[in-house]
Structure 1
Amino acid sequence: MRLAVFAALVLAAPLQAQDSTAVTLADAVRIAVDESPEVRRGEAIGRGESAAVRAARAGRLPTLDLQVAPQQRYGLGFDQTTGEVVSQTVETMSVGVGASLPLYDGGRTRSLVREAELRRQSSEVGLQRTRQQVALDVAQQFLTLLLDREIAGIEAENLDAAQSQLERVSELVEAGARPRGDLFAQEAVVAQRRTALVVAQGAVERDEVILIQLVGLDPLGAYRFVGPDLERLEASGLLDAPLAPLVELIEAARETRADRRSQELAIQAAEASVGSARAAGRPSVTLSANAGTGYSSLQQQVVGEPPVIPVTLADGSPILLGGQPLTFPGDPTLETTPVFSQFSDNRSGSLGLVLTVPIFDRYQTRRAVVEAQIQAETARIQLDALDRQVAAEVQQAVVEARTARAQLDAAEAQVRAAEEALRVEGDRYRLGAGTLYDVAEAQTRLAEAQSQRAQAAYGLAFRRVLVRLAVGDTDPAELAALISE
């Protein structure tokens, strides 16, 4: 009866329209993990760490530079033709290609590559923990929604029972077997149950709004959150699964927790940074090569044959030497050498090794080593603190799970006792030996016991999931399946 009434109420709700989208716990976890700002921020950091790895590995590659330097100078210069100092404009251009290849850098590149790879791995492992935490938050809110639905169903059943009781009281009052005051009292009970149902339905709608925001769904969309009810949750075996001993759980957490593994990788990365800092004080060897050419507007070349000037006497007759006229060469005709000819003629190149030995760097290397060592020690201290936190989280999760199990057992016993008490009070009232107040009190106690039982059941389910998360052996998909199966 309760499930039928509650199903009718649920189907009548606006957010449960037929054209709404069904969202299971697995869907909610998947969407939340994909759309979570924390996860997306972690993914962006991971892409940055991957880029840092590529940049560190590129330290082993040669560098290649192309240099083009056009220049125009203005000023005074000596003209060798006239022997005068004249104002002139000189245009030059140099073109060169240079390459260098590090042969040995004291192990600095190797340390930088290792550090970058470890930081990337640490970021990836840490992202796994972020996904788990996002999934846990969604699962907790999803279970809260299922719990409030269960409570709303309980209130719907109580309202139905109160209305049925009102009909029976009305019949007894009309027959003169009970005073009319009982009718008014039962009408007040019905009104109270109706108010409790409205409050419970409001809690369900509030939970849906929170879950939509937490998952990252469109707030204007219509959704039906589909999950296991209390009977399916109990039938799944999740509530009755045995817990491993606390010592084994803590040891397993230290082996499987993603955040602890991430911190271990961060320690190794910090230790690698110590090596790269020390390498800065070691000698380095670099192979360098250069090739280039150039152009200058001052560079000139002779055009054609130079003129021949004959040597003559005062009267103009030639002076003979060996029977041939005596001559001497005149000034040649010059012009600026063409650009491409200069580029071809002025080629040059070099190849060599450069050995750099640090002698004194104003204690910069020592300071960098000390800072790196401090960072490594800080990372180790953080790991010690994380170990204490892991042990505390596992222990707390186990204690809360055991407490929730005890609360569920007590709540089930309370429900059985309340059901029996309501049956007895109902029989006494029908026989005229009891009062309507006693029946109403028994109904109230039963409603409270049923609500506490539902809270204890869903609380135990969440605590069992929390134990798995504290140990660190649950990924988001498994977490959703753990509750939904």
Structure 2
Amino acid sequence: MKIAIVKRMVLLMVVVATGLESIGQNQDSTTVNKPAEKKILTLDDCIAIAMKNNIQLKQTRNNAHIAKANNFQSIMNFLPNVNGFGNFSLNNGTSFNSNIGQFATGSNESSFLSVSANMVLFNGMNNFYNKKATSLALESNVNLIKAQEQTVQASVLGSYLAVVLDKENIKISEARIDLLSQQLEREKKRHSVGVGNLEQVYNFQSQLANENLRLVNLQNQLLTDQLTLLQILQIEVSRDYEVAPYPFDEEVESVLEKEKYAEVLEESRAYSPSLKSAMANANAAHYNFKRTQTSMVPTVSLIGDYSTQYSSLLRDNADQVIPIGEQYENLTNKGLELRLTVPIFNNYRNKTNTQVSKLNKENAELQLDQAELDVTNTVQRVYLDLINAQETYKAAEDNMVALNQSFEFVKTRYEHGNTDFYTYLESLNNKNRAEIELVNAKYSIIFRKKILDVYRGLL
């Protein structure tokens, strides 16, 4: 009897222990498989991430560092070149030794040390033009960084606008579905008690199905636009991100005032880093052209040289090798040379380089013209978008009030059986269209204004 009781207790303990282990494993599994929280991305977050990750922006910054190094080198070119030389040789056999001016046979050691300096006194202002060109190239690259940042900001703003508009359109669609669902249930109840019309039930079911399909399309569009935004930010798309809504209610009225296009264009042109970069690049090409022209001008250089040497063949009166230190001290040579180098013929290389640099100068000037045209076209497009959004907002706001009142009136009449389904549906469609136009205009005003401020240097 006691043995049976003990067996039952042991069996019960095993079952409890197994159950506890299973519960613990389930808890661990639940903890491991818990989905990661979504990362909320505000507009400022998106801009900051894009500025950090953009590959073209990183390349532009690297190019600016290269231009800075080239500019530093152009300054150093004004300094003389100083070079040192030294050697030690061990000879065995018969050879001519320049230290003693005769042939020597056997093993001997020798060494030679020298220091020379070469300074260009005149080369047709080549170094001066090179310094001007590299300085302007550095200025161009610094402005290119700002221009690329400008492009990144505008891209993020445009993509962010598309995402928030998709979300607002989804809200409107969901509200429409909710309203149609309520009306469908109402018609079903009316039909069930014998006072409704089955045709109305089918009409609402059809409209509800159409709106559900439209909602799916809007949700797909949101996923596409959100993917585009994440690709612009160059972040991992496999992680869940949520784009935060943009609070704009207090800003709409403040940006409804229209600014003069001429003033906006003038500010944009004055600030435009891309235009400044193209201008600096054109000036750099001009100095590069002048620099290549100096390759046909004679060069005047001043060359200084100091050398000393040692040989084991040099001996004193006692036929002992003169110590190396004494030889280095006595066998010195100092020289100073003024050298004139005249380019006569070098396979047309100088003439070809001059022709190429002249064409580069003309291309840089054309790039400047293109940059001016690009700035004007961009500002025109963004300014027109802003003006259109402002005009649309004013009209949509008034239209929304009128159509909302009209819909409420038609809805009441429909619910009391005083109007038909198609009149009700047309009024609902007009109301939803007005809602979409108003929301799109609101967001377009804010974001087009921000994009315009980017090009004016105000953001």
Into which bin does the TM-score normalised by the smaller protein fall? 0.7 to 0.9
Are 2:423 and 1:408 aligned? no
Q: Does the residue aligned with 2:195 lie in a helix, a strand or coil?
A: coil
Relative to structure 2, which stretch is displaced further, 160-169 or 111-120? 160-169
In the TM superposition, what are the counterparts of 1:107-118 in structure 2 within 5 Å? Answer: 107-118=125-136
Q: Is the 8 A contact 2:40 2:242 kept in 1?
A: yes
Structure 1 position 270 matched with structure 2 position 270: no
Contact 1:278 1:369 in 2 (8 A): yes
Q: Does 1:257 align with 2:272?
A: yes
Cα 1:86–1:297 change in 2 (3 A) is closer
Checking the alignment, whether the CA contact within 8 Å between 2:252 and 2:445 is kept in structure 1 is no
What is the number of equivalent residue pairs in this alignment? 419
| Counterpart Cα distance in 2 of 1:78 and 1:21 | 83
Alpha-carbon distance between aligned partners in 2 of 1:265 and 1:77, rounded to the nearest angstrom: 61
The alpha carbon displacement at 1:65 in A equals: 1.2
Secondary structure at the counterpart of residue 304 of structure 2: strand
* Alpha-carbon separation, structure 2, partners of 1:176 and 1:266: 83
Counterpart secondary structure, 1:289: strand
Change (3 A) 1:86 1:203: closer
Alignment of 1:434-449 (within 5 A): 434-449=419-434
- Aligned residue in 1 for 2:28: none
Distance between the aligned counterparts of 1:20 and 1:78, measured in 2? Answer: 85
Relative to the length of structure 1, the TM-score reads 0.77
Q: Measure the CA separation in 2 of the matches of 1:456 and 1:293.
A: 85
Question: TM-score, length-normalised on structure 2?
Answer: 0.81
Alignment match, 1:474: 457
Shifted more, 396-405 versus 146-155: the winner is 396-405
Q: Distance in 2 between matches of 1:18 and 1:456?
A: 35
CA shift, 1:365, in A, is 4.6
Q: What is the percentage of aligned positions where both structures have the same residue?
A: 19
Q: Distance in 2 between matches of 1:203 and 1:347?
A: 85
TM-fit CA distance, 1:254: 3.0
Q: RMSD between aligned alpha carbons? A: 3.0
1:429 matched to 2:414? The reply is yes
Conserved in 2, the CA contact under 8 Å of 1:150 and 1:229? no
Q: Could you say which residue in structure 1 is the equivalent of 2:344?
A: 360
How many Å apart are 1:137 and its aligned residue? 0.4
Q: Secondary structure at the match of 1:280?
A: helix
**Are residues 249 and 270 of structure 1, via their aligned partners in 2, closer, same or farther at CA, if it must alter by over 3 Å?**
same
Gaps of 5+ in 1: 1-16, 80-84, 304-333, 479-485
The residue type equivalent to 2:67 in the other structure is E
More moved, 406-415 vs 53-62: 406-415
| SS of the residue 1:26 aligns to | helix
Matched, 1:382 2:397: no
Q: Which deviations, in whole Å up to 9, do the C-alpha atoms of 1:46-89 show, x marking residues without a partner?
A: 0000000011100112222121123344553599xxxxx99644
Alignment of 1:239-254 (within 5 A): 240-244=256-260, 246-254=261-269
CA deviation after TM superposition for structure 1 residue 201, in Å: 2.8
- Aligned-pair distance for 1:225? 2.1
Superposition map of 1:288-367 within 5 A: 288-303=303-318, 334-350=319-335, 352-358=336-342, 360-361=344-345, 365-367=350-352
In the alignment, the residues of structure 1 paired with residue 382 and residue 125 of structure 2 have an alpha-carbon distance, to the nearest angstrom, of: 46
2:17 is the alignment partner of 1:25: no
Q: CA deviation at 1:162?
A: 1.6
Cα–Cα, structure 1 residues 230 and 202, in superposed 2: closer, same or farther, change >3 Å? farther
- Give the corresponding residue for 1:156: 174
Corresponding residue of 1:306? none
**Alpha-carbon offset, residue 121 of structure 1:** 0.2
The whole-number CA distance in structure 1 between the counterparts of 2:96 and 2:275 is 77
Q: Is residue 252–residue 446 contact of structure 2 (8 Å, CA) maintained in 1? A: no
- 1:194 has 2:212 as partner: yes
Do the aligned partners of 1:286 and 1:354 also contact (CA within 8 Å) in 2?
A: yes
1:136 corresponds to which residue? 154
> How far off is 1:366 after superposition?
4.8
Task: Give SS of 2:259's match.
Answer: coil
User: Is the Cα contact below 8 Å between 2:181 and 2:208 reproduced in 1?
Assistant: yes
Contact persistence 2:248–2:446 (CA under 8 A): no
* 1:391 aligned partner: 376
The residue that corresponds to 1:327 in the other structure is: none
Q: Is the 8 A contact 1:150 1:230 kept in 2?
A: no
Please state how far the C-alpha of 1:185 moved relative to its aligned partner. Answer: 3.1
What is the CA deviation profile of residues 292-325 of structure 1, one whole-angstrom value per residue up to 9, with x for unaligned ones?
222223323344xxxxxxxxxxxxxxxxxxxxxx
1:429: Cα distance to partner? 1.7
Question: How much does 1:210 deviate?
Answer: 2.2
| Matching residue of 1:82 | none
Q: CA offsets per residue over residues 415-454 of structure 1, 9 Å max, x none? A: 3444234223322222222233432343233223322332
1:125 to 143, 147, 157: 143
For the residues of structure 2 that align with 1:458 and 1:415, how far apart are their CA atoms? 16
More helix by proportion, 1 or 2? 2
Aligned partners of 1:168, 1:361: CA distance in 2, in Å?
99
2:214 and 2:350 map into 1 onto residues whose CA distance is 72
Does the 8 Å contact 1:230/1:454 carry over to 2? Answer: no
SS where residue 300 of structure 1 aligns? coil
CA distance in 1, matches of 2:355, 2:228: 49
Distance 1:113 1:189 in 2: 73
For residues 197 and 385 of structure 2, the distance between their equivalents in structure 1, rounded to whole angstroms, comes to: 50
Give the direction of change, closer, same or farther, for the CA distance of 1:230–1:437 in structure 2 (3 Å limit): farther
Q: Which has the larger radius of gyration?
A: 1
